[in-house]
Structure 1
Amino acid sequence: MKITTWRAAAAAACAAVLALAGCGANGNGANDANKAGVTGGMLTILTSATEMDLDPAKSQGLPITSNGNIFRRLTAWKITEGGETKVVPDLATTTGEPSDDGRTWTYTLKDGVKFEDGTPITSKDIKYGLERSFADSLTGGLSYHKTLLEGAQDYHGPFDGEELDSIETPDDKTIVFHLNAPFGDWPWVASLAGFTPVPQGKGPASGYGKKPVSSGPYRIESNEAGKQTVLVRNENWDKKTDSVRTAGPDKIVFKMSQDSSVAAQSIMQGTGEGRNAFSASTVPAAQLAQAQANPSYKKLLTTSSSGALSYLAINTEHVKNLKIRQAIEYAIDKKAYQTASGGTIAGDIASTLITPGIAGHVDYNLYEADPTGDVDKAKQLIKESGEAAPTLKLIATSDQAELASSIQTSLKRAGITVNIQTLNSDVYSDASTNDKGDYDLVISGWQPDFPSPYANISPLFDSTQIGNGNYNQARYNNPKVDALIKKATETINQTEAGKIWAETDKTIMADAPVVPLLYSKNTFIHGSNVTDFIIGQFPAYPDYTQVKLASKN
Structure 2
Amino acid sequence: MDRRDFLKALGLTATVSGAGALLAACNANEQSGAGGAVAVSRGGTLYVLYDVTSIRLDPAKSQNLAITTISLLHRRLTAWKTSADGPATVVPDLATDTGRASADGKTWTFTLKDGLKMADGTPITSAEIKYGIERSFDPAFSGGLGYHKTLLEGASGYQGPFKSGDLASIETPDPKTIVFHLARPYGDWPWIASMPAFAPVPKGKGTDANYDASPVASGPYVVAENTKGVRLRLTRNPNWNAQSDPARSGLPDAVVIQLGQDTGVMSQRLLASQGNDAYAFGANFVNPAQLAQIRSNPAAKNQLVTSKSGALAYLALNTKRGPLANPKVRQAFQYAVDKTAYQIATAGSADLAGPIATTLITEGIAGREKFDLYPAPPGGDVAKAKQLLTEAGFPNGLDNLDFPVSTSNNDADKAQALQAALQRAGIRTKLRPLDDDAWTAVVTGNDGAYDLTLGSWQPDFPSANANIQPLFGTSEIGNGGYNLSRYSVPEVDALIEQAQGTVDQQAAGKLWAKADKRILQDSPVIPLIYTRNSFLHGAKVGDFVIGEFPAYPNYLQMGLAK
- Give the TM-score range, shorter chain: over 0.9
The list of structure 1 runs, each at least 4 consecutive aligned residues, that deviate by more than 6 angstroms after superposition, is 11-15
2:543 is matched with 532
Between 82-91 and 164-173, the greater mean CA deviation after superposition: 82-91
> Shift of residue 275 of structure 1?
1.0
> Shift of residue 111 of structure 1?
0.6
Residues in 2 aligned to 1:163 and 1:35: alpha-carbon distance in whole angstroms? 50
The superposition leaves residues 279-323 of structure 1 with CA deviations (integer Å, 9 ceiling, x where unpaired) of 100001122222111111232110001232000000111111222
Runs of 5+ unmatched residues, structure 2:
none
Residues in 2 aligned to 1:384 and 1:427: alpha-carbon distance in whole angstroms? 36
Q: Return closer, same or farther for 1:499/1:316 CA change in 2, 3 Å cut-off.
A: same
**TM-score of the aligned structures, taking structure 2 as reference length:** 0.94
Matching residue within 218, 223, 230 for 1:220: 223
Partner SS for 1:534 = coil
Q: Is the CA contact (8 Å cut-off) linking 1:50 and 1:227 kept in structure 2?
A: yes
Q: Is the CA contact (8 Å cut-off) linking 1:183 and 1:491 kept in structure 2?
A: yes
Matching residue within 488, 495, 498 for 2:509: 498
1:461 aligns with 2:461: no
Q: Aligned pair count?
A: 543
1:357 aligns with 2:364: yes
Q: Is the CA contact (8 Å cut-off) linking 1:291 and 1:297 kept in structure 2?
A: yes
Q: Is the CA contact (8 Å cut-off) linking 1:454 and 1:489 kept in structure 2?
A: yes
Q: Which amino acid aligns with 2:66?
A: P
Residues in 1 aligned to 2:233 and 2:130: alpha-carbon distance in whole angstroms? 28
> Shift of residue 15 of structure 1?
6.8
Q: Return closer, same or farther for 1:283/1:31 CA change in 2, 3 Å cut-off.
A: farther
Matching residue within 324, 332, 341 for 1:336: 341
1:30 aligns with 2:39: no
Q: Return closer, same or farther for 1:178/1:9 CA change in 2, 3 Å cut-off.
A: farther
Q: Which amino acid aligns with 1:42?
A: T
1:423 is matched with 434
Matching residue within 87, 90, 104 for 1:87: 90
1:512 is matched with 523
Q: Is the CA contact (8 Å cut-off) linking 2:473 and 2:483 kept in structure 1?
A: yes
Q: Which amino acid aligns with 2:388?
A: L
2:18 is matched with 17
2:446 is matched with 435
Between 159-168 and 363-372, the greater mean CA deviation after superposition: 159-168
Residues in 1 aligned to 2:88 and 2:39: alpha-carbon distance in whole angstroms? 21
Q: Is the CA contact (8 Å cut-off) linking 1:31 and 1:303 kept in structure 2?
A: no
Q: Return closer, same or farther for 1:444/1:495 CA change in 2, 3 Å cut-off.
A: same
Q: Is the CA contact (8 Å cut-off) linking 1:353 and 1:516 kept in structure 2?
A: yes
Partner SS for 2:114 = coil
Identity %: 50
Q: Is the CA contact (8 Å cut-off) linking 1:11 and 1:446 kept in structure 2?
A: no
Q: Is the CA contact (8 Å cut-off) linking 2:318 and 2:487 kept in structure 1?
A: yes
Q: Is the CA contact (8 Å cut-off) linking 1:103 and 1:181 kept in structure 2?
A: yes
> Shift of residue 83 of structure 1?
3.7
User: What are the residue-to-residue correspondences of 1:132-151 with 2, within 5 Å?
Assistant: 132-151=135-154
1:390 aligns with 2:398: yes
> Shift of residue 81 of structure 1?
6.6
Q: Return closer, same or farther for 1:461/1:35 CA change in 2, 3 Å cut-off.
A: farther
1:348 is matched with 355
1:173 is matched with 176
Q: Is the CA contact (8 Å cut-off) linking 1:530 and 1:548 kept in structure 2?
A: yes
Residues in 2 aligned to 1:80 and 1:462: alpha-carbon distance in whole angstroms? 30
Q: Is the CA contact (8 Å cut-off) linking 1:308 and 1:519 kept in structure 2?
A: yes
2:237 is matched with 234
> Shift of residue 201 of structure 1?
1.0
2:247 is matched with 244
> Shift of residue 506 of structure 1?
0.6
The superposition leaves residues 256-284 of structure 1 with CA deviations (integer Å, 9 ceiling, x where unpaired) of 00111111111111234221100100001
1:119 aligns with 2:122: yes
2:375 is matched with 368
Residues in 2 aligned to 1:523 and 1:32: alpha-carbon distance in whole angstroms? 18
> Shift of residue 124 of structure 1?
0.1
Residues in 2 aligned to 1:266 and 1:486: alpha-carbon distance in whole angstroms? 49
> Shift of residue 20 of structure 1?
4.1
Q: Which amino acid aligns with 1:404?
A: A
Partner SS for 2:162 = coil
The superposition leaves residues 195-228 of structure 1 with CA deviations (integer Å, 9 ceiling, x where unpaired) of 0000011111311011100101111111111111
Residues in 1 aligned to 2:210 and 2:525: alpha-carbon distance in whole angstroms? 43
Q: Is the CA contact (8 Å cut-off) linking 1:19 and 1:340 kept in structure 2?
A: no
1:263 is matched with 266
Q: Which amino acid aligns with 2:182?
A: L
Residues in 1 aligned to 2:415 and 2:289: alpha-carbon distance in whole angstroms? 21
Query: What is the alpha-carbon root mean square deviation over aligned residues?
Result: 1.8
Runs of 5+ unmatched residues, structure 1:
none
Q: Which amino acid aligns with 2:107?
A: T
Partner SS for 1:79 = strand
Residues in 1 aligned to 2:149 and 2:304: alpha-carbon distance in whole angstroms? 39
Between 270-279 and 328-337, the greater mean CA deviation after superposition: 270-279
